[in-house]
Amino acid sequence: MITTLSIENFALIEKLDIDFSNGFSIITGETGAGKSILLGALGLVLGKRADLSSLKNKEEKCIVEAHFSIGKYDLQNFFEINDLDYEEETIIRREILPSGKSRAFVNDSPVNLQQLQDLSLYLIDIHSQHQTLELSEEEYQFKIIDAIADNQRTVAEYQNVLKQYRTAKSALEDKKSSFSAILKEKDYNEFLFNELQSAGLKAGEQAELEQTYEALNNVEFIKENLERLLALANEDEFGVLKNLKEFKVALQKNINFSSEYLALFERTNSVLIEFDDIVKELNRESELVFNDPEKLELINQKLQLIYSLQKKHNVATVEELIDIQTELENKVVSVSEFEEEIVTIEESIKDFELQLDGIASEISKNRKNAIPSLSEKLIEILSLLGMPNVRFKIEISDSPTYHNNGKDQLSFLFSANKGTDFGLLKKVASGGEMSRIMLAVKSILSQYTKLPTIIFDEIDTGVSGEIANKMGEIMRDMSKSMQVFAITHLPQIAAKGNQHYKVFKSIQGETTVSELKLLTGEERIIEIAEMLSGKEISDSALNHAKALLN
């Protein structure tokens, strides 16, 4: 249940802190006083989107904070899955910054709006005119029947298998689509793959081949230059080696006079050793350099093949060609392998269909068994609400389609008066009748499910008098097992509450603000009397208000 609501800088509300009790709470106020603002603020902590128009002062942030007592809701698993700290007294806070950015927190842990919306399903059910329209939708009607049939776990099991079934169906479609495309391109892909495979490509070989090609293609120049270098090094009179040796011998004569000369001598000796090694290496290279036109041609052919393949596939490296070869190899996987995979998926789909059929049959059986009880309870409650001749025709038939909640088709028909034909709810039921039917549904559901706190937003539309009195009694009975709020304009309903809150506007300086206060016993008498007779409260209205409260 919600225990506290704090609102700051939202619409016409500057700052509001209000505590709530369990049982049946009434909220009244004149049209435009701010009841919708209160629900709007509550909607923020339940995950609804917001914008800057929600801010009363555009320069300051808006904060809405709600405290919930959730010990009896069995929500530990939800908090664990969403990596949130579980507290029996949970605090949800929503902030809207002047920049327009929105932030949400559960027990001071940041959450996204989807998490907030998912959590709100366990906390508060705000019944509005929009939800009354849902009553005529098949999905909502199934939810009512399944609650009474105790089908929740069975439907959840069905949905789990259905998810796997749909995944398998999607995989089968993708596999067949790929298979069809492969068949169309099979011959061409095989040709491309064989062409690349026969090229025997290796990573990094292009640079090596190009370097070898350049060397073979310039063998005469290289040979001539090597011979010139060797001549410079080995010439008898002016060769580098001869001069270095003489330089070394001359420097050696000074080594006994200074450590500096010794160091220079050692460095010269190192140069001589290194240069001697270079000359030997040049000799070996010179012996290896020879004209090989056959090898040159082979390398040229390999390079031309690589260039041709690169141009064909619009790439610049051998590595990219190898990637394309791997991709083509995957595409030319044998037809038989694809067919085997398709058969395997088809067999798994048949298994899922057998499971779904079995679970759907159980769901349908439970629904058919629950329908008489639902009809009986609806008729019983609606008779109290001024619809003594109401009848329901609820029938379930098999469908070949796997729906989200089974394989049933539902016919949920309604007749309000004797001698009138059955018709669809949304076509034959008036607004007042729809409100009473929805209240009856909520009353029945409260006996079968752990409904969260429920807020009835003017569910009394289109009713008055004794019917309103009975509606109030039903909501009061519901409040024995859950927290119930009713936003109402009817004194008969307002008098049934355990607590009574009033929404009103006041002028503070140059601005209008909305406020909410818990009425005392005397204030409550005056409020209900005003609902009966208007601003000019008569003695009879006061007496009538006291009688209603008693």
Give the DSSP per-residue string, 200-220.
Answer: T--TTHHHHHHHHHHHHHTHH
Per-residue pLDDT at 304: 80
Per-residue pLDDT at 149: 93
Structure token pair of residue 494: 């307002």
Q: What percent of the chain has a predicted confidence (pLDDT) above 90?
A: 36
Structure token pair of residue 329: 């190899």
Going across the sheet that includes 423-424, the strands are 391-403, 406-415, 423-424
Per-residue pLDDT at 457: 87
Query: Residue 317 is which amino acid?
Result: T
Distance CA 117, CA 16 (A): 23
- Residue whose entry in the numeric block shows the structure tokens 């082979």: 298
Structure token pair of residue 159: 């949905």
Per-residue pLDDT at 254: 85
Q: What percent of the chain has a predicted confidence (pLDDT) above 70?
A: 95
If we measure between CA atoms, which residue out of 535, 539, 464, 453 comes closest to residue 494? 464
Distance CA 179, CA 186 (A): 10
Per-residue pLDDT at 287: 66
Residue 145 clears pLDDT 90, i.e. is over it:
yes
Per-residue pLDDT at 546: 92
Distance CA 69, CA 229 (A): 95
Per-residue pLDDT at 292: 64
What's this model's pTM, rounded to 2 decimal places?
0.66
The answer to whether 441 touches 132, Cβ cutoff 8 Å, is no
**What integer best gives the mean pLDDT of the chain?**
86
Reported confidence tier of residue 288, pLDDT bands at 50, 70, 90: low
Tell which CATH classification among 3.40.50.1110, 3.40.50.300, 3.40.50.150, 3.40.630.10 matches the domain 1-128+453-518: 3.40.50.300
The answer to whether 414 touches 434, Cβ cutoff 8 Å, is no
Residue bearing the bigger pLDDT, 134 or 46? 46
If we measure between CA atoms, which residue out of 548, 126, 177 comes closest to residue 342? 177
**Residue ranges per domain, the chain?**
1-128+453-518, 182-331
Mean pLDDT value of segment 401-425: 89
What is the per-residue burial (b if ≥16 Cβ within 10 Å, else e) of 366-401? Answer: bbeebbeebeebbbebbebbbbeebbbebebeeeee
If we measure between CA atoms, which residue out of 454, 445, 449 comes closest to residue 2? 454
The answer to whether 90 touches 3, Cβ cutoff 8 Å, is no
Q: What is the DSSP secondary-structure string of 270-338?
A: HHHHHHHHHHHHHHHHHHH----HHHHHHHHHHHHHHHHHHHHHT-SSHHHHHHHHHHHHHHT--HHHH
Strand partners, 4: 19, 67
Per-residue pLDDT at 217: 66
Reported confidence tier of residue 336, pLDDT bands at 50, 70, 90: low
Residue 460 clears pLDDT 90, i.e. is over it:
no
What is the DSSP code (8-state) at residue 462?
T
Q: What is the DSSP secondary-structure string of 472-483?
A: HHHHHHHTTTS-
Phi, psi of 91 (to 5 degrees): -115, 125
Structure token pair of residue 219: 């063998």
Strand partners, 62: 96
Strand 24-28 vs strand 484-487: parallel, antiparallel, or unpaired?
A: parallel
Per-residue pLDDT at 87: 93
Per-residue pLDDT at 351: 96
**Model confidence pLDDT, tens digit, residues 34-86:** 788 888 889 899 988 887 777 888 888 899 999 999 988 888 999 999 999 99
Residue 172 clears pLDDT 90, i.e. is over it:
yes
Per-residue pLDDT at 233: 78
Distance CA 437, CA 424 (A): 13
Residue 299 clears pLDDT 70, i.e. is over it:
yes
Per-residue pLDDT at 289: 65
Strand 453-457 vs strand 484-487: parallel, antiparallel, or unpaired?
A: parallel
Residue 4 clears pLDDT 90, i.e. is over it:
yes
Residue 216 clears pLDDT 70, i.e. is over it:
no
Long-range contacts, 200-206 (Cβ 8 Å, 24+): 201/306, 201/318, 201/321, 201/322, 201/325, 202/318, 203/318, 203/319, 203/322, 204/318, 205/318, 206/303, 206/306, 206/317, 206/318
Distance CA 302, CA 325 (A): 17
Structure token pair of residue 46: 């339940």
Residue 271 clears pLDDT 80, i.e. is over it:
yes
